[in-house]
Each structure stands twice: as structure tokens, then as C-alpha cells.
């Protein structure tokens, strides 16, 4: 049995999809050129005009956008619609410095929710299902996106948001939830909590889960599937393009179909910017074809990935992307939150420390541990243990304010952080997130 939410798109012959993309791209470039001064300047600088873009074969002529552009243009610089036409703002998890705010018209919201609906249907969801959304609600796109998708499918939607695991389990059972949407680490945590209660997969009504917003492995997938007794599907997205639902897994569970009618994907060489042929490993770049309010053209995701048009047994013709295999920048995703080492440097300098630090990330069970070791100087050092631990606590609080997650801070001796070839190793990520 194969179910699609929008069959005509999801199974459209590839040549037709490309034609559709070409038509949309030509229109979108005009819309952006006319309405977004920031991007018009980038195009002018490159000597490209909308007339040069006659289809997707011309996409490579357009300039890239990066997170730095989003920061420069914060908050309204990339807006392509008057504010009175916008109905929603969502934002990324970084609380300062790297914040991204995205704007949506009602149409943008509708199309985004359609994308999430496709993911839910691909996971076996129908209007008979009860869909428990345990992603965070609020500025984070996870909760609102899947919530909207669930409505579109016609599922009975349980907007739980994240946390309060006892209540999650009680509602899941009392209200017969069949689909769970949350981060994979939270799904694993719910599984562990069930096991602690002596409950097994047969004691809960779930049949499927849609998990995303952070990297996870095949091993973690198997663990979640076994403890919850479900099929676990991956979903991908980023606030810059809309949110979850840019791509989603089908019954084959081998890569995520990109909603190509809305998002045009490319793989580029992260060093040269050159477009690479299908099947090459490189940085994933997205062009939003339908976004009205916040239409990013050639946005560099920094996710390293591979695309494939291999025929899929689910019948979808939409191109598939592999699970991202890493990043082309230094961003870390810790407990679902984006963390840049530069944010930590900013806090250290503000708090009177030298930027001599090391981030150590690991995974204990299914939860990320996040340690920051910082070299102390004579000014911070005191003769009492309580004095040093108070300094550690104050620094941890300052980091939490900046990052939104709580690190465990250790002050260490000067020059004790290992330097290789004179350059300190800033990040040690012991998690095995990529198979």
C-alpha cells in the first residue's frame, strides 16, 4: 500500500518536475530581484540580471547566500513582502549573535505545512491517526511545522510540545497516539522512560515516529524502533528554508525525498562553490522556489550530503538526499541546539577570559553531554575551591544565556589545553553521529 499526500507532485516524472522548477525559478528570481535590495546588490555585483535566468540550467549563475548574509541583513534585509502581508515569524535556536528570523505569508505557511503533511503520510499517517507532536512549540519550527502538517492530513493532533515525559506517556496511552513527532534523542528518552516503568513496545499504541532537527545514526534508529515498537522516519529542514519538511523519508527508509517542487537542491564543492554532478559528496544548497516572504536563493546549508535520483520503491520520483554526513563549517548541534564555537569565544571575552577553551561533546545513553574547558588566568584564580567553582558557575550561566543550553564548565590551568602544531583543538566531538 502506498499513500501520497500530493500524488501528482510526489510521483511526477523527473522531466516534468525540472520543467516546473525552471518556471518557478524564473519567476522567483524576478520576485527577489525586484523586492530584496540585499540580494539585488549581490546579483548586480556578479553582473547577473533576472533576464539571464531562463531555467534551472542557469541557477549556477546566481550568487550564494550564507548564514553571514542572514546576520548582516537581520532582521528585515531579506524580506521580499511588505510586513502587512506576513503572518508569522520563526527563528533558529541561537539566542544571540547567530539568530536567524524567517518570515512567512499565509501561503508560505500553507506550503510548509503541505511539506510536513507529505512526511506524515509517507510515514503511514492518515486521518484515522492521532499524531503526538512533542517537538518544542514557539519560535522553533519543529512544533508548529509538524502541528500544521498533522492538521492538513486530518490527524487528531496532540500538541504536547517537548518535556514532561510522564504526561507524554500518559496522553499517548489514554488518547491512543499512533504517530510521534519529536527529536530522535527525545524519542529515545521516552523509550528509556517506558523501560524504567517496565513497559514494552506492546504497551503503547504508537506505530510510527517522525524524528529530526538533530543528527542521529542507524543504530539509534534501530534502538528507537525496538523500544517503541514503531517505524522511525527521518525528516530534514532548516528555519532558513521554512522548517522541517524540506525532505522526508518514505517506507524505504534510505534517504529523504526532497520536496523539489518547493526546494531546488544543489551539491557544491564547499571550497570552490562549483556545482558537483549528481552522486557527488558536497555541500547542500537550497533555493526556495515558492517562498514569498523570505525567499532565499542558493542558500548554503553547510550540511555535507549526497543526492540521488535512483528509483525508489515507494514510487516517489522526488530526488533523495542522504542523511547529512557532517558540516562544512564548525557548527555543532548539541541537544538539538545550534552551537558555534565563535559564540563561546564571545562569552569568554565578555567575561574576562582569554579565548583558550575546548568544547567536548559526547553522548551518554541518548543524551548529549556538553563540557567547556577554559584556561584560567591569575585574575580569576583564588585560593579557595568555592571561589573557583563560583567562577565556573558564573561562566556556565553566561554561556547558557548565549547558547540556550547549559554546559558544564571546568576552569583549567593555563596552557593545559592541548595544542597541535601551535593551534588548539577547539572541538572534540566524541559522538558517533554519522554512520
Partner 1 sequence: MSLKQLNIFVENKKGALVEITETLASHDVNIRALSIADTEEFGILRLIVNDNETASKILSDKDYLIKITEVVGVKIGDAPGKLSTALEVLDKEDINVEYLYAFMSRTEKHAYVVLRVADNDHAEKALEAAGYHMITDADINKL
Residues lying near partner 1 in the complex (CB under 8 A) are found at 376-378, 381-386, 388-389, 410-416
Q: Which CB sits closer to partner 1, 207 or 410?
A: 410
Q: Which is nearer to partner 1, 180 or 348 (CB)?
A: 348
Segments in 36-94 forming alpha helices (H): 37-46, 67-72
Rank residues 39 and 370 by Cβ distance to partner 1 and give the closer one. 370
> Least separation, in Å, of the C-beta of 377 and partner 1?
7
Number of other residues whose CB lies within 10 A of the CB of residue 349:
11
| C-beta closer to partner 1: residue 85 or 371 | 371
| Residues 112/245, Cβ–Cβ less than 8 Å | yes
Three-point CA angle 45, 108, 57, nearest 5°: 45
Residue 333 bridge partners (DSSP): 338
Q: Which three cell numbers stand for residue 72?
A: 548582516
Question: What is the C-alpha separation between 106 and 77, in angstroms, rounded?
Answer: 20
Q: Which is nearer to partner 1, 388 or 405 (CB)?
A: 388
Determine contact, residues 105/113, Cβ cutoff 8 Å. no
The grid cell for 430 is: 566524541
Residue 200 or 387: the one with the smaller Cβ distance to partner 1 is: 387
Please state the closest distance from residue 422 (CB atom) to partner 1, in A. 15
Minimal distance in Å, beta carbon 177 to partner 1? 42
| C-beta of 205 vs 355, nearer to partner 1 | 355
To partner 1, the closest distance from the beta carbon of 391 in angstroms equals: 12
* Least distance in angstroms from the C-beta of 341 to partner 1: 22
Q: Are 395 and 409 within 8 A, CB to CB?
A: yes
Please state the closest distance from residue 390 (CB atom) to partner 1, in A. Answer: 13
Please, what is the minimum distance in Å from the beta carbon of residue 418 to partner 1? 13
For the four alpha carbons of 170, 236, 148 and 209, in that order, the dihedral sign comes to negative
Q: Which residues pair with 83 in a beta bridge?
A: none
Alpha helices in 256-405 (DSSP H): 341-350, 385-403
Using DSSP's 3-state secondary structure scheme, residue 289 falls into coil
Q: Which residues contact 403 (CB under 8 A, 6 or more apart)?
A: 94, 95, 337, 339, 343, 344
* Residue 1 vs 413, nearer CB to partner 1: 413
Instruction: Identify which of residues 152 and 391 has a Cβ nearer to partner 1 in the complex.
Output: 391
Give me the phi and psi of 267, to 5 degrees please. Answer: -115, 125
Least distance in angstroms from the C-beta of 425 to partner 1: 17
CB closer to partner 1 out of 1 and 385: 385
Number of separate helices (H) and strands (E) present in the chain = 11, 22
Distances in Å between the alpha carbon of 406 and those of 360, 394, 402, 411, 417?
13, 12, 10, 16, 21
Q: CA 88, CA 291: separation in Å to the nearest integer? A: 13
CA 34 vs CA 57, 136, 262, 376, 432: distances in Å? 21, 36, 20, 52, 45
Cα separation of 37 and 234, whole Å?
Answer: 36
- Return the residue matching grid coordinates 516524472: 13
User: Smallest gap, in angstroms, from Cβ of residue 372 to partner 1?
Assistant: 13
Min. distance of Cβ 415 from partner 1 in angstroms? 5
The distance of closest approach from Cβ of residue 351 to partner 1 in the complex, given in angstroms and rounded to an integer, is 17
* Residue nearer to partner 1 on the CB measure, 73 or 412: 412
| Per-residue exposure over 69-88, b if at least 16 CB sit within 10 Å of its own CB, e if not | bbeebeeeebbbbeeeebee
Amino acid at each position: 500500500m502506498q499513500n501520497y499526500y500530493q500524488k501528482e507532485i510526489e510521483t511526477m516524472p523527473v522531466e516534468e518536475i525540472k520543467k516546473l522548477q525552471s518556471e518557478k525559478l524564473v519567476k522567483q528570481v524576478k520576485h527577489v530581484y525586484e523586492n530584496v535590495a540585499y540580494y539585488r546588490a549581490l546579483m548586480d555585483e556578479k553582473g547577473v540580471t533576472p533576464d539571464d535566468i531562463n531555467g534551472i540550467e542557469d541557477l549556477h549563475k546566481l550568487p550564494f547566500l550564507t548564514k553571514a548574509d542572514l546576520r548582516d541583513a537581520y532582521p528585515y534585509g531579506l524580506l521580499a513582502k511588505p510586513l502587512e502581508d506576513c503572518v508569522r515569524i520563526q527563528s533558529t535556536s541561537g539566542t544571540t549573535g547567530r539568530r536567524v528570523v524567517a518570515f512567512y505569508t499565509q501561503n508560505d505557511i500553507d506550503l510548509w505545512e503541505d511539506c510536513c503533511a507529505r512526511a506524515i503520510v509517507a510515514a503511514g499517517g492518515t486521518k484515522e491517526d492521532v499524531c503526538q507532536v512533542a517537538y518544542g512549540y514557539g519560535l522553533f519550527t519543529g512544533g508548529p511545522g509538524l502541528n500544521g502538517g498533522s492538521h492538513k492530513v486530518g490527524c487528531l493532533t496532540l500538541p504536547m510540545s517537548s518535556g514532561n515525559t510522564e504526561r507524554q506517556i500518559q496522553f499517548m496511552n489514554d488518547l491512543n497516539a499512533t504517530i510521534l513527532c519529536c527529536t530522535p534523542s527525545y524519542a529515545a528518552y521516552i523509550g528509556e522512560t517506558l523501560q524504567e516503568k517496565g513497559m514494552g513496545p506492546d504497551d503503547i499504541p504508537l506505530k510510527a515516529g517522525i524524528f529530526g532537527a538533530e543528527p542521529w545514526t542507524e543504530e539509534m534508529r534501530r534502538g528507537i524502533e525496538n523500544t517503541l515498537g514503531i517505524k522511525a522516519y527521518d525528516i530534514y529542514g532548516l528555519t532558513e528554508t521554512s522548517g522541517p519538511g524540506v525532505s522526508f523519508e518514505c517506507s524505504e527508509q534510505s534517504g529523504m525525498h526532497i520536496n523539489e517542487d518547493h526546494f531546488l537542491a544543489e551539491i557544491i564543492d564547499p571550497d570552490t562553490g562549483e556545482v558537483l554532478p549528481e552522486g557527488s559528496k558536497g555541500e547542500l544548497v537550497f533555493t526556495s522556489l515558492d517562498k514569498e516572504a523570505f525567499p532565499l536563493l542558493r542558500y548554503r546549508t553547510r550540511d555535507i550530503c549526497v543526492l540521488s535520483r535512483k528509483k525508489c520503491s515507494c514510487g516517489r520520483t522526488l530526488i533523495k538526499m542522504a542523511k547529512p554526513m557532517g558540516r562544512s563549517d564548525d557548527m555543532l548541534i548539541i541537544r538539538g541546539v545550534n552551537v558555534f564555537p565563535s559564540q563561546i569565544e564571545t562569552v569568554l571575552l565578555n567575561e574576562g577570559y582569554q579565548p583558550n577553551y575546548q568544547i567536548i561533546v559526547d553522548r551518554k545513553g541518548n543524551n548529549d553531554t556538553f563540557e567547556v574547558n577554559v584556561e584560567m588566568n591569575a585574575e580569576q584564580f583564588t585560593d579557595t575551591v568555592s571561589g573557583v567553582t563560583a567562577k565556573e558557575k558564573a561562566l556556565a550561566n553566561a554561556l547558557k544565556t548565549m547558547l540556550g543550553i547549559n554546559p558544564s564548565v571546568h576552569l583549567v590551568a593555563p596552557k593545559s589545553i592541548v595544542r597541535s602544531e601551535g593551534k588548539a583543538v577547539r572541538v572534540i566531538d566524541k559522538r558517533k553521529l554519522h554512520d
